[in-house]
Amino acid sequence: MAKIYFTLTGTKYYYGKEFLKPGITLQLKKEPNNKYDKEAIVVRMEGLGDIGHVANSTHTVIGESMSAGRIYDKIGDTAKAKVVMVTEHGTICKLCKKSMVDHKRKNVEEDVSE
């Protein structure tokens, strides 16, 4: 499975980005009731809480990283990620493989339980 990168954005509305360094572990949580974006994914850091969101706009996604809409169905309600690079335009993070939903396995489990 290919590595999935995304852009962390909106940090200026929380604590800024000066504390973010490569290797830091982050938690992602879907926000289905977000009034601005039905595919919103909030990004949290242990000890701080919410620090931003997964970018979901062509204006905030950096390069070939994925938007929240493109990873929304690839993760469960929560997921983990690591900071890869901090730039002046945003922070690039990598989704942890263990956070990925295995749709093939999920379908097999649903077939067995029926």
What DSSP assignment string belongs to 15-78? T-STT--TT-EEEEEE-TT-SS-TT-EEEEETTTEEEEEE--STTT--TTPBPHHHHGGGB-SE
Least confident of 52-56, 68-72, 78-82, 106-110: 106-110
pLDDT at residue number 6: 95
Please state the pTM of the whole predicted model: 0.83
* Mean of pLDDT values over 3-14: 92
Is the domain 5-113 a CATH 3.40.50.300 member?
Answer: no
